[in-house]
Amino acid sequence: MRYIGPLVAFLLTYCVSAPAAAQTFGPSIQGLCLLSRSGAISGSRAGQSLQVQLRQMQASLSGDLARQRATIDQQRRTLAGRQNAIAPIEYQRQRAALDQQAQALEQQHNARFIAAQQRGQQQIDRVLNEALARVITRTACGVVLERDHAYGWNNAMDITPSVSREMDGLLASVSLQ
């Protein structure tokens, strides 16, 4: 009886520290397929290419915007230095024009980024749809459900990796221009 306490403690410690095995939720159901749209996109080279290019574009646009804002800020400081030398109404008009110019620059940069993002996403969506159609046909899926909204699943029904591989064969990188 004395040895049972340490043995139980050892077994409990072992069970708690042992990695949990992946749980499979029942048998695979023929014709029922699961897809993680975001997983397929992020797992594809085209999706990864889009993310890299968008990060680079955002950094470039942010740098451009910062340089242009610095120019406008310098113009604001110059205007503030001359505030006592010009009529108040003229000062307000020039200040409003600089503020409007700064706002327009930011809107232009945002519009360029959003347009590029949409062009890239359209390419991804087109390739995803084509890849998905091929995998659905090959796998004989009668129903495809979004995997990300399922509590659990049998991995044999998950077509996400197959769709990512199919996308890689169709498009390796995205062009934002």
Dist CA 100 CA 3 (whole Å)? 81
pLDDT tens-digit map of 31-74? 999 999 999 999 999 999 999 999 999 999 999 999 999 999 99
Tokens 């646009």 -> residue: 61
pLDDT tens-digit map of 20-31? 344 568 888 999
pTM, entire model: 0.72
Q: Which residues are CB-contacts of 45 (< 8 A; sequence separation ≥ 6)?
A: 167, 168, 171, 172, 173
